[in-house]
Structures are given as structure tokens and as C-alpha cells.
Amino acid sequence: MAYSFKTIQRRQVEESLAPWSTISPHDQPSGGWVKTIRQALGMSAAQLGRRLGLSRQAAADLERREVSLSVTLATLQKAAAAMNADLVYAIVPRQGLDATIRAQARKKAEHTLGRAAHTMKLEAQGGSDSEYNAQLDDAEEQIMEERPRDLWDGEDTPATPK
């Protein structure tokens, strides 16, 4: 079976994300990584501040900003380097990429077929539930195959993690 470039690319991304899939956002220490690593190293906030060219108060503020998600990646990278560590950053889909795309294709199929089914029911031409589900499955597969440009249009998703 020949795979498209997008399919190969998606599978490579999925493979590189595999080690991250077991990590949960809830695994983050409540005080943030900077403070947790700094304390584990036996480093004071003043010492971290000096290594960053900041005051103790500015280093403590950096730790607070990390917890409140208002710190930049560049700042976190500098803090990590000051503690002889690396910043590792990833965006990890809650489901796999294929499952995320399939769920969106299903929503798109439901939206498209739902309108047609509603019109047919109004005209007393509605089919059975099993017929509708078969059509829905077919539409989902067609969307998965074609991957239309508007796949992600029309529906807003929550921006905050669950």
C-alpha cells in the first residue's frame, strides 16, 4: 500500500511523540519545575538569580510566573541552563494524531449528514438508524481519505486543558 507524504509525516510525528504520551499535565509539580529542580539541587533562589543575572526576588518571580503559565519559553530555557539542565518542550495530543483526525472527521460527517437527514425527515423520507449509521461511517471514511482543507473549520474547541 502506498502512503501519501502527509500520512508518512503524521506517522513520524506520532512516533516521536510516543515517549511523551505517558506524561500527563498533572505530573507537573505544583510549585513548578524551576523551583522543584532548584530545590532538589540545593540551590537557593538568590543563587539561581545570580546565575541568571537577576535578583533573588526576580528569580522567585520567575518561579511564580511559571506556575501561572505567564513565563516565556526563552526564560525557562535560561533558567534550565543556569541549573545545568535542558528545557524540553512538546505539544502532545490527548489522543493519538489519527484518533484526533478521525474524531474530527466523524464530527464533520455528522454535521453534513445531520442536515440532510433532518431535511429528509421533514419530508417523511428518513431512513432507518442503521442506514444512517452506515452512511455516517462511509462519510467518515471518505473524509479520512480525502482530508479536505476545511476539516478543522466551523467548530471551536476549548482552549483550556481538561
Query: Could you tell me the pLDDT band of residue 127, with boundaries at 50, 70 and 90?
Result: low
pTM (2 decimals)? 0.71
38 and 48 Cβ atoms separated by less than 8 Å: yes
Note the pLDDT of residue 162.
Answer: 47
Question: Which of 7 and 35 is assigned the larger pLDDT?
Answer: 35
Q: What's the pLDDT tens digit per position in 40-75?
A: 999 999 999 999 999 999 999 999 999 999 999 999
**What is the C-alpha separation between 105 and 12, in angstroms, rounded?**
21
62 and 32 Cβ atoms separated by less than 8 Å: no
Q: Per-residue pLDDT for 157 more than 60? A: no
